[in-house]
Amino acid sequence: MLAAREILVAEERGRIVAMMGVTPCLDRALWLGQARTHPDFRRQGYAQRLVEAARARVRRERRPALRLWTSERNLAAQRLAESTGFRRIAVFTRRVARTRRAPSGLRTSRRAAEALRLWRRSLFCRQGGGHIAYQRHFLPLTQNVLKKMAARNELLVGQDIAVVLWTQEERRTAFASVLAGGQRGLTAARRAAGERGYAAVQTFLPRDPRIVRWAREAGFIKGSWGTRAVLYERRV
């Protein structure tokens, strides 16, 4: 499921001094990651130039946006994003839980429109700036995107609950984005991951006090990283 990743590099006299990973998202936006400039070459505009190169590609290929995330503690990366025209979308927090062996009450669904309606009314949508975590990035949830997820059997629904559940290359952990259902949605996601045979489930939640409380009550704990992840977007 992992989309192809490319690395943009900046060279100085034949030596790589800065890099940035570029990955297409499900909505065709480009996700920027692994930004690194050699310490001896920082504050000389290399990262800025790599962002501009990615932006030129987005325009050339008629893609909708560039997106990236960074830790709220990483001021340099936040300044870089703001200085290159990115807009702060929301802050997310990564939570993890062992799965539970109990029926989730969820079933796979193709009814993207219905799930989208639930999502749009939810705190998850509002506090996440209309974006969810999916695969190794975040993207705005639209009916088109949700249809693609549903076609992959990743959309699960129950009574007022909607969850997108997917997996990456590692086999024992599932990933979930709860779209609707509050604490019950989080509990159901944990169980659904168990039903699919996973030992653990992780999620990125909008960093809102109510949502964080729901997660705690549903048995999720803070992940070892990504507890304050700021999502940025630059639309083209």
Candidate list 8, 25, 37, 141; residue touching ligand COA; CB under 6 A: 37
At 180, which amino acid appears?
A: A
Q: Does 59 bind ligand COA (CB under 6 A)?
A: no
Candidate segments 76-84, 109-117, 168-176, 217-225, binder of ligand COA by CB under 6 A: 76-84
Residues 6+ apart with CB under 8 A from 56: none
Residues 171-200 that bind ligand COA (CB under 6 A): none
Contact predicate 156/109, CB 8 Å: yes
Of the residues 1, 9, 76, 113, which one makes contact with ligand COA according to CB under 6 A: 76
Instruction: Using the minimum distance from each CB to ligand COA, give the nearer residue, 83 or 168.
Output: 83
DSSP characters for 87-101? EEEEEEEEEEEE--S
**Backbone torsions φ then ψ of 177, nearest 5 degrees:** -120, 115
Contact between 64 and 24 under an 8 Å Cβ cutoff? The reply is no
Of 99-138, which residues contact ligand COA (CB under 6 A)? none
Q: Which of 226, 211, 206 is nearest to 127 (CA)?
A: 206
Check binding of 227 to ligand COA (CB under 6 A).
no
Whichever of 46 and 198 has its CB closer to ligand COA, that residue is: 46
CA gap 129, 22 in Å, rounded: 22
Q: Which stretch binds ligand COA (CB under 6 A): 40-48, 95-103, 123-131, 222-230?
A: 40-48
89 belongs to the binding site for ligand COA (CB under 6 A): no
